[in-house]
Every structure is written in C-alpha cells, then in structure tokens.
Amino acid sequence: SVPPGVLPLCCRQPAWGRAAWQPPNPPQPPSLPLALCRAFSNNKILVELDESSGVATMKFKSPPVNSLSLDFLTEFCISLEKLENDRACRGVILTSAIPKIFSSGLDITEMCGKSMEHYAEFWRAVQEMWLRLYGSNMVTVAAVNGSSPAGGCLVALLCDYRIMVENPKFSIGLNEAQLGIVAPFWFKDTFVNVVGHRVAERSLQLGSLHPTPEAHRIGLVDELVPEDKLQEKAAAVMAQWLALPDHARQLTKSMMRKAVLDRLVAHREEDIQNFISFISKESIQKSLRMYMEMLKKKKS
C-alpha cells in the first residue's frame, strides 16, 4: 500500500528504444543514462532508487532540523520497508536535504506535556526505527552532512558505515545526559559496538558531542571528506560493499548484531514502560521544559 502523498515517478529514460532492425550506419543515440530512477516522497523523507546500481538515497527533509518526531519515524519506517521489499534495491544511503544538520535527534515536544498513551506510541516508533535499520538486510551508509546529536547520532550508528563532512563546526554524539535523560540500553549497546566500552562509557556519562576530527579519531565515524565529495564517497563505499555476495554479507551482519537486536525484542514492552515512568517524572519534565525554553531564546 502506498502512503498518502507518495508519488512514484520515473527519472530520465533512454531516448532510444531497442528496435529489432537497425538501418545501415544508424546515428548514435544521445548519451543519456540508461538507468531507471524511481522516486517516492512523503512529507518528511525523499527516496530515490537507482535501479541500475540497486542503491537508494533516503534524504531527510523535515525543517528546521530533521527532528525525529512521531510522524518522521513513521514515514522513515514505511520508506525503509518499501525498499526492503523492493527486489531492485540492495543498499541505501541516508543523508539530509537540510544544510548543516543531519538530524537533531528525538523531537523533545513528543516527550513533554503529553499523555502516557502518546509516550508509549512515540517510544514504540523509536524502537521500530532502531530494529528496522539496525537489522536491515540492505547495505546502509550514513552520509552525515551536518551536526548529528542524540537520536541523530543513533541513526548514523545503526548504519554499516559512516562518512561525515570534514567540518570542525559539525559534531556528533549521544548527548542525552546533558538534557537529564538516560540513553536506554539499546542506544548504549549500539554505541559500544561501534567505539568500544571505555569510549562509550565516558562519552555517555559526559553527554559528549564530538567535533568531526575527534569523532573520526574515536571511530564514531569511519571517514571524513570535503562536503563536495560526500555523495561520491558514499557511492564508492556502497559499491565496495555491494561487490560481495549478498547472502554472505547479510548472514555475517546478522551474526554480529543478532544478540543486541534480540535483547530489545525480548524486553520491548518493559522498555516502553520504563520510558513512560522515566519521562513522566516531574523533574524530567522540568528539565525538558527548560531545554525547550533555551532553544526558543536561541531562535529569537
């Protein structure tokens, strides 16, 4: 089923068909790409699939900062599921259509002053995004073209490979502690799997946001590139990963990640209840309200 507002369309097609008979010395067809490109878009995410390479690009387009709202997370999971079920797609590059920001992370407004039912629905959507992306059979590459705190960092961590723009003004990290929030165990598990236990422990306790050179040094991102080379590098990395037989790569990925995925699946409802209990505490709500006020003052 196609979600409302999703409009499939075809990109440029070859100008010449394949005729069964050719005249002597036929003129050469124009030099146009032979690949079919399909795109579908909803309110917050644009997906473009190049069928010749089997690679999709998923661009976040939820101004001003690509916050992971309930609507965004729902659209993200729908888009990812469509690609997973498309036999033409083998890999996806995640990036932002908004300059200087990959994603600012979980939408604070979804966690402040809402009902218990809303908190449960929101947290289940966060879990679903994590389970789908971390457990994806596709090759996943994060092309991080701006700052990526908290949940934005998590999205990048869930991918197989992370490339970030080489700009010291950009930062990335799980900085939940700065907001008075504790990153759940599955955030922590993902982080530990990427950077190791000691670096993750220190970074999580301090709520650190790592500038790009430091993020590269600790292994949080795999490569730094100039901004104008980001998409080119992401495509090259994707090609390298897709050169392997899918079944061998997928089984290896599953073997490496299965224990962490299974842990959340086994404790999913308990984790939702823990989140509701934590986020509804008045002290936490007060911290979130203060943070939102600070953001409003910055904007003004």
- Comparing 43 with 247, which gets the higher pLDDT? 247
- Comparing 40 with 18, which gets the higher pLDDT? 40
Residues written for the chain: 300
Are 178 and 162 a contacting pair, CB within 8 Å?
no
Q: What are 121's two structure tokens? A: 């629905």
Task: With a cut of 80, say whether residue 4 has pLDDT above it.
Answer: no
Residues noted as catalytic:
106, 151, 175-176
Q: Write down the pLDDT at residue 259.
A: 96
Q: What are 207's two structure tokens? A: 């709520």
Task: With a cut of 90, say whether residue 42 has pLDDT above it.
Answer: no
What Rg, from alpha-carbon coordinates, does the chain have?
A: 21
Task: With a cut of 70, say whether residue 272 has pLDDT above it.
Answer: yes
Q: What is the pLDDT of residues 143-180, one digit of tens each?
A: 999 999 999 999 999 999 999 999 999 999 999 998 88
| Residue 108: CB atoms within 10 Å | 18
Mean pLDDT of 211-234: 97
Q: Write down the pLDDT at residue 31.
A: 39
At 298, the pLDDT band (50, 70, 90 cuts) reads: confident
At 36, the pLDDT band (50, 70, 90 cuts) reads: low
Please give the C-alpha separations between residue 91 and each of 67, 223, 225, in angstroms, as whole numbers.
24, 19, 21
Q: Write down the pLDDT at residue 300.
A: 66
Return the amino acid letter for 125. A
Please give the Cα distance from 95 to 193 (Å, whole number): 22
Are 170 and 195 a contacting pair, CB within 8 Å?
no
What's the burial of 185, exposed, middle or buried (CB within 10 Å: 0-12/13-18/19+)? Answer: middle
Task: With a cut of 60, say whether residue 3 has pLDDT above it.
Answer: no
At 184, the pLDDT band (50, 70, 90 cuts) reads: very high
What's the burial of 1, exposed, middle or buried (CB within 10 Å: 0-12/13-18/19+)? Answer: exposed
Please give the Cα distance from 226 to 228 (Å, whole number): 6
Q: Write down the pLDDT at residue 295.
A: 78
How much of the chain, in percent, has pLDDT values that exceed 70?
87
Q: Write down the pLDDT at residue 296.
A: 79
Task: With a cut of 70, say whether residue 215 has pLDDT above it.
Answer: yes
Region at 245 (left for phi over 0; alpha for psi -120 to 50; beta for the rest): beta
